[in-house]
Structures are given as C-alpha cells and as structure tokens.
Amino acid sequence: MRPTVHDIAAAAGVSLATVDRVLNQRPGVRHVTREKVETAIRELGYIRDVAAANLAKGRTYPLVFILPASDNSFMHGLNAEIRQAVLRSPAERTDIRTIEVPAFDPAALVSVLEELSREKPCGIAMVATDAPEVRAAVDKLVRERFPIVTLVSDLTGSLRHHYAGVDNIAAGRTAARLLGRFLGPRKGEIAVLAGSMLVRDHRERLEGFAAVMAAEFPHLAILPVLEGRDDPEVAHRLVADALGNAGIIGVYSLGAGNRGLIRALKEKTVDRTLTVIAHELTAHTRAALVDNTIDAILNQDAGHEVRSAIRVLKAKADGLAVIEAQERIRLDIFLKDNLP
Amino acid sequence: MRPTVHDIAAAAGVSLATVDRVLNQRPGVRHVTREKVETAIRELGYIRDVAAANLAKGRTYPLVFILPASDNSFMHGLNAEIRQAVLRSPAERTDIRTIEVPAFDPAALVSVLEELSREKPCGIAMVATDAPEVRAAVDKLVRERFPIVTLVSDLTGSLRHHYAGVDNIAAGRTAARLLGRFLGPRKGEIAVLAGSMLVRDHRERLEGFAAVMAAEFPHLAILPVLEGRDDPEVAHRLVADALGNAGIIGVYSLGAGNRGLIRALKEKTVDRTLTVIAHELTAHTRAALVDNTIDAILNQDAGHEVRSAIRVLKAKADGLAVIEAQERIRLDIFLKDNLP
DNA sequence: CCAAATTTGATGTACGTAAATCAAAAAATC
DNA sequence: GATTTTTTGATTTACGTACATCAAATTTGG
C-alpha cells in the first residue's frame, strides 16, 4: 500500500497536525521538525493523493484561455475544442473561461494579462502575440507564480512554462521537402501564401520552408510572399493574380483562410498540374485534398493542444510532473489516404 | 455546485441507503423506487464523483497487458512504455501486469485468456494474433463483462471494445502514395519487405499499398513480397539479393527488423538512387532517415498506444465515455525535418 | 526562573461516496 | 389477519487529505 500522512507522522515521530503543517507549508513548525518530516516523506516515498486532497479542499482549477478574435476555421475549431473541455469540466474539476482579444494587438493582450493578475486564476493558456511588452507581462505573471502555457503560437525567450503547439520551423521545412520531392527534377517557381508576416508562426514556417528550399531544391524559386491576411477574399484575388504567371508549379499555403486559395486553384484556366501543400485540416481543405486540388495538408490537432494545455496547467498548479512525450504536439501530415 | 447523492435522495424522497443501492446495483429495491431514483438522477444531472468513489472503495484497476515475445525494437519500445506506465501506477490507481506469449501462437494466447477469466482483472490489453479461436476466446471474455482493447494489431469482427493502434490499410496506402509521388514518372520495380504474411497488420499494410499502387501508379511494379520474419539477418540477405535486380527503384519495408534492410542499402554496389519507405521509428531507422538512406518513416507512437489503452480500459471499467478523438492513434509520418 | 511566545499534539469536522448493520415499515404469502 | 419476506430508512465507519480549534508542551526573552 502506498504510504499516507499517518505513516509519515508515525515515521517522523510527530503528530498528524505537524505533518499537515509541513505538507501545506503552514507556519509554526521548527526547522528541525520540518526536516524530520521531510526526511520521512522522502524515505517512505510518500506521494500526496491528489484526488483525496482535491476532494477535501473542494478544489477546482479556474483556468483562462486567451484567444485572438480571428474569424477563421482554425480559431473556430480551437474554440469548439475549448467548449468541449468546458463540458468535461465537472469531471475534471476545471472552471474554464475564454477571453477574446483583438488579433495582432499586443497592448490589448497586455492589459488583459494585467487584469488577470488580480483575478487569480490557477492557470493561463494564451495564443501569444509576439512582442516585447507581451513577453514582459508574461514574465511578470510567471514570477507571481501563475502557471502559463502558450498555445498555437509561442513566445520564445519568455518564462512561460510550456508551449502547446507545433514546431513551426519544422513544419515549414517539412512542407519544403514534401513539395520538393513531389515535384522531382522539374524546374519552376513556387508561390507562398501567408496570413501575415507579423505573426510569429507564419514567419517561422516561411523561415523553415525557405531554408530547405534553398539548401536542397535550388532549382525551385520562391516567389515573393502573398499576404492574404487569413481572409478568403484577399487570398483568392492574390492567388488568382499570381497564377497568371505560367512558371508556377507549386504552392505553399502556410496560413489560414484557404477557401480563397482553393477557389482560385479550381478556377485556373490554363490546364497544368500544380503541386499544392496547405496548412490546417478543415472541411474545405479536406475536400480539396480528396479531389486532388491539394496534395498534402499539414495540421496541428486543436483538440490535442487544448487538452494538453489543460493537463499541463493543472499539473503545474499542483507542482506535479508532466509526461513530456504525451504533451508534445505533433505535426500531422495528411495525404488523402490517412485522413481521420 | 454539482449535485451529490444527498441531493438525489432528497429529490427522490428516499434515503441515502436506497440511492446507494440503486447507484451500485445492489438488490433490495422495488422497481418503482428504483425508477424514482433514476429519474432524480437524470433530472438533476447527477454524475458520480469517480475520485471520491475510488477513494471510498480503495479501488485500484488491475490491468493485464498481453504481448508477443518478439525480439524487435518495436516490441522493446512497447515494453518500455508499459514500464513507464507502471511507474505512474500509484497516481493512476492502476496495477499493471504484463504477460508474454509466444508470437504467432493462437493456442498459447487462448490459454492465457482462459486463465485470465479466473483471475478477474478489470481490463485486458492485448496484441491480438488473428485467428478464429482467439476471436472466440475474446468474445467469451467480453460477454463475461471484461473490458478488452486490442493493441497494435486488431481483431476485426470480434467484440473487443476498442482498438489502440493505427489503421494499417491506411498506412499501406499512405506509403504507396508517398513512394509514388517521390518517384514521379520514373518506371521501375518496387521491392516489399515484410515480417510475415501471417500477421494481420502486415497483410493489411500490403493490401493498402498494393491497392493504391495498382490504381494510381501503374507504371510501378510490385515484386513478390520478401518475408524477413522481422529478423535483421534474414532481411539483410533477402534485400541484398533483391538489389541485384537493377530494375528496382523503390523499397517499402512494412515490418520490423529494419537493421538488416539498412545495412543492405548501405552496402549496395551499383550507385543508384533508391526511394525507401519504412515503418517504425527506432534508433536505426532514425539514423538512416537523417543520412538519407531512408526517405520517410511511418510510425505508430507506442507510448500513446499504451496510455490510450489504459485510459480506455479504466473508462470501460467505470462505464464512462471516452474522448474518441483523443484515443485515435494516428499514423505519424516522419521526414528528416519533423523528427521529434 | 518566570512570563510570554512559539511550537506541537490531540481531536473533530469536512469532502463525496461505499458499504455494512440493524431496525422499521411495507408488501406478499398462506 | 398473522406471518414471513421484501423493501426501505437511519446510522455509522471508512477512504486520504485539509483545515480549524484548543490545550499542552517546549522554547525563548527578560
């Protein structure tokens, strides 16, 4: 049987009350006594029964998710997954609140973070906008002992405890290799459609993509990035224009808002084979993959990201270890054959 | 606040003891009373606090993993993941035992299953050998209310509650498309290295592979399957021999024991580019991917499979729902750019 | 050495559920 | 209608931990 507080008390030769004081860092314990107890804990290999403790405390985990108010399929999916998590709240003892902030607006994000400092949630998951003031606000919260995980888009160089999202540089590199290998020895130009170069994840994907392209597929030339602002209409216009260029043989869409891209691809008048790689599996990209308009989809599983963020925040709040391998968000590669 | 048993008792106008009898299906409750209680449960939306119940019951989950005694990297990895799960046992209230049975031996597997029927574990995870007598033994256990999940290799047509493994037909199809697309318009022959055609997962991978090859890449001819018995030495000899055929331009290794394959590939005398796709990420295949001996690796995450099997078995034992999306085991596709 | 302050012990209640016991009430049987 | 059987209620203890209270013991300061 695993040891209980009673065993610790007996082993350390103190009372239950004292063990409790040590375990819950309450005052009124002499240094030597505290050490006796801590030794007993270590020697017996005592682990607190979190379930029993939560029951006694009537504990819930108030968590806050901060998301950008972006109107694209991916964010809608992320929102839906958070709602699913809310439905599971009673069983998981979580109490989840979502805050939407204007996208790409560091100041707004910072002010939300500052408010949270007063509200005292036991964990914060946020889609980070990459700016120095955001980094400073996050670091401040971490120093005040708030568990913080970044979601989807990381905040490198900050003190955040964990990042629940894919490695975007690796994603870009993977896209480049797939595209390069699919195209074979053909020479030509590659169009890149992004949302905005102001977002870190898009910048990183492009960085990885360009690096592998240059190093391993020098016969393929990357055209200037089209910034579609994750908006289907804008994307449609940009891609339709670009396809006037007969030299294009491949497309990499690294952002959201692929509806416009797909429409432009289907409308193309000149009949030629384009190899297309896009990000994020949605109803639209899925259909396009099935009908061969798109050749591969790179995806991050929003459900996994949300569940992982919650697990990590709870663990951090309790000071417990996380299973690293379980919390690694993988880059899913979908061909038409392995769709879920 | 979520309702408790006390609220149910009050709402149904019965005593706590009666509610308990209903909840734990103990005898001695009239039909009408039982219905009153069940109505109250439904109307208040009562959900049993599993943590509190487990605490009161002093419950642990005795689980059994049945694995084939195969000496290859994948099975070693699976074993290691089970040992990790054992380390987490105190926190997860599990009590995990592993049983090794001779590989490809339905009779041995059946006799182990029959023994388990007496031992009464609260759940069984097994790497299934695909045979009618195994199917019958599994169905019998399921009818006796044992939760059973198949691991890595499924038992289609049986009553097992869940399969914790990848879709092997989809895996084979994916391999075919990757190989076909990487090779482009080149004509040639494809060597296929399998472990044994007696194992269901290998048969299924080949089936998916052959289907896509025939339908979409008819200019590539699949050579007769090499059965390497998942043994590096045998695989080495078979592949080395096969590579004497100058028409081979691609290799699909759908089984375990890739060390021999890799050695044969590196030794090849004629200098030509082979496109190679293999299964299972191990130290060897990983190195081969990095040095370009292998072009892509298809993988199933053994850690995810083990954790998923445990979650599902616990949920089934408690009669709870599982998060389907979370328990879906994906086919990982690794290029050298997205290695973990 | 005494008083004050600090540290420790003993004890009880609570969390939500399980499980057991025994008495009381209701229903079924003859 | 009395007896047996079945059903229900009331109550208690337990699981492992948290937390509060009060008394007792120990240490510290003067």
pLDDT at B53 over 80: yes
For residue B340, tell me if it sits in a domain: no
Q: What is the CATH number of the domain that holds A134?
A: 3.40.50.2300
Within a domain: B160: yes
Distance of residue B155 Cα from the nearest chain A Cα, in angstroms: 20
Please tell me what DSSP assigns to residue B331: -
Residue A245 and residue A149 in one domain: no
Is there a single domain that holds both residue A81 and residue A226? no
Is B333 part of a structural domain of the chain?
no
CATH of residue B34:
1.10.260.40
Q: Can you point out the beta strands (E) in B102-235?
A: 123-126, 148-151, 162-164, 188-194, 220-222, 226-227
* Torsion, CA A124, CA A125, CA A127, CA A129, rounded to 10: 30
Residues A105 and A144 in one domain: yes
- Comparing every residue's Cα with the C1' atom of nucleotide C19, the nearest one is B57
Q: What is the DSSP letter of B229?
A: T
Expressed as residue numbers, the domain containing A206 is 168-299
Q: Which of A12-16, A123-127, A198-202, B97-101 has the lowest mean pLDDT?
A: A198-202
Residue B122 has pLDDT above 70, yes or no: yes
Tell whether B161 and B174 lie within a shared domain.
Answer: no
Residues B155 and B180 in one domain: no
Residue A270 pLDDT > 70: no
pLDDT tens for each residue of B201-258: 899 999 999 999 999 999 999 999 999 888 888 999 999 999 988 899 999 999 888 9
| CA dist., res. B182 & res. B217, Å (int) | 11
Task: Say which amino acid occupies A330.
Answer: R
Question: Measured in angstroms, what separates residue B142's CA from nucleotide D9's C1'?
Answer: 38
Q: Which residues of B touch A56 (CB under 8 A)?
A: none
Instruction: Band the pLDDT of A1: cuts 50, 70, 90.
Output: confident
Å between A234 CA and nearest CA of chain B = 31
Q: Buried b / exposed e across B28-41, counting CB within 10 Å, b at 16+?
A: ebeeebbebbeebb
Residue A337 belongs to some domain of the structure: no
One domain, residues B158 and B176 = no
Domain-located, residue A335: no
Helix (H) or strand (E) holding A67: strand A61-68
- Per-residue confidence (pLDDT) for residue A269, from 0 to 100: 61
How many Å is the maximal CA-CA distance in chain A?
A: 86
Q: Are residues B291 and B180 in the same domain?
A: yes
* Phi, psi torsion values for A213, nearest 5 degrees: -60, -50
In a domain, A338, yes or no: no
Mean pLDDT lowest among A18-32, A207-221, B324-338: A18-32
Kindly indicate the confidence band of residue A303, based on its pLDDT and cuts at 50, 70 and 90.
very high
Supply the Cα-derived Rg of chain B in whole angstroms: 25
Q: How far in angstroms lies nucleotide D21's C1' from the CA of residue A18?
A: 14
Question: For residue B294, is it within any domain?
Answer: yes
Q: Give the residue-averaged pLDDT of A92-114.
A: 95
Write down the pLDDT at residue B244: 87
Residues A32 and A113 in one domain: no
**Gap between the Cα atoms of A289 and A212, Å rounded:** 24
d(CA A180, CA A166): 22
Is the domain of B214 the same as that of B115? no
**CA dist A314 → A62, A163, A323 (Å):** 10, 14, 13
Mutual orientation of helices A16-23 and A31-44 as an angle, nearest 10°?
A: 90
Which chain B residue lies closest to A332 (C-alpha atoms)?
B332
Residues A175 and A293 in one domain: yes
Tokens 């860092």 belong to residue: A25
Choose from A44, A169, A337 for mutation: most chain B CBs within 10 A: A337
Do both A179 and A280 map to the same domain? yes
CA gyration radius, chain A:
25
What gap in Å lies between CA B29 and CA B206, rounded to an integer?
Answer: 56
Residue B43 near residue B57, CB atoms below 8 Å: no
Neighbours of B10 (CB within 10 A): 16
DSSP annotation string for A260-295? HHHHHHHH--S----EEEEES--HHHHHHHHTTS-S
Provide the number of structural domains found in chain A: 3
Q: With respect to residue A73, please indicate whether it lies within any of the assigned structural domains.
A: yes
Beta carbons of B337 and A307 less than 8 Å apart: no
Strand D: which positions are within 7 A of a protein CB?
A: 6-12, 14-21
Instruction: Give yes or no for residue A97 having a pLDDT over 70.
Output: yes
Which tokens in the block code for residue B303?
A: 């850690």
CB nearest B340 (choices: A91, A178, A328): A328
The length of chain B is 340
Query: In this structure, are A225 and A76 located in the same domain?
Result: no
Residue A234: Cβ within 10 Å count: 17
Strands B94-101 and B123-126: unpaired
Q: Which residues of A touch B (CB under 8 A)?
A: 2, 47, 49-52, 54-55, 88, 90-91, 167, 170-171, 173-174, 176-178, 181-182, 184-185, 208, 212, 295, 301, 303-304, 307, 323, 325-326, 328, 330-333, 335-338, 340
